[in-house]
Amino acid sequence: MALGEVADADEVLRSLGFTADESRALIKRIEDGQNERTRRVYTSLKTSSNKLRRVSIVLWGYSVAVWVYVIAMQLRYPESPHWPFAVWIPVRLDYLGELAFFLSFIFGLFAITWTAREVRNIRRIKDDIA
């Protein structure tokens, strides 16, 4: 074998003393192991992606609820923008509303992006099967 030449795995195994059946069986076991590891990594990534998507949806819901609360308070009590949100949270209500609006936008984008990516992946898998 010359330097830089890529050898066929079956030929290398045969040169080491393996029979044709043994070399094919070993190569198949290695490929099956790689496929299994790839499947486990994909499954764990998909699980963590689903958890992150759910967390972003929950945080989106809370930020929308805070935003709606601030709007309702400003409609009912026009002087409320200068009130603190709570005694233990010394943030003005209008600043909290702005922050909640911004966060609802960001978390909404995350949820939409993850859902669209999941739909694309499902379509790709269906196309690969067909």
pLDDT in tens, 49-78: 777 888 888 999 999 999 999 999 889 998
Q: pTM (2 decimals)? A: 0.57
Q: Answer whether residue 46 is part of any domain.
A: yes
Residue 31, domain member (yes or no): yes
Domain that holds residue 99: 9-129
Phi and psi angles of residue 91, each rounded to the nearest 5 degrees, phi first = -115, 135
Could you tell me if residue 2 is inside a domain?
Answer: no
Residue 117 resides in a domain = yes
| Other beta carbons within 10 Å of 111 | 20
Closest by CA to 65, choosing from 101, 89, 112, is 101
Give per-residue pLDDT as tens, 4-29.
Answer: 333 577 777 777 777 878 877 887 88
3 located within any domain: no
**67 occurs within a structural domain:** yes
Both tokens assigned to 69: 């609360």
Residue 104: count of CB within 10 angstroms of its CB? 20
Q: For residue 73, is it within any domain?
A: yes
Residue range 77-121, pLDDT digits in tens: 988 888 887 788 888 888 889 999 999 999 999 888 887 887 787
Counted domains in the chain: 1
Contact partners, residue 23, CB within 8 Å, separation at least 6: 9, 10, 13, 14
CA distances in angstroms from 114 to 50, 63, 76, 106, listed in the order given:
8, 19, 37, 12
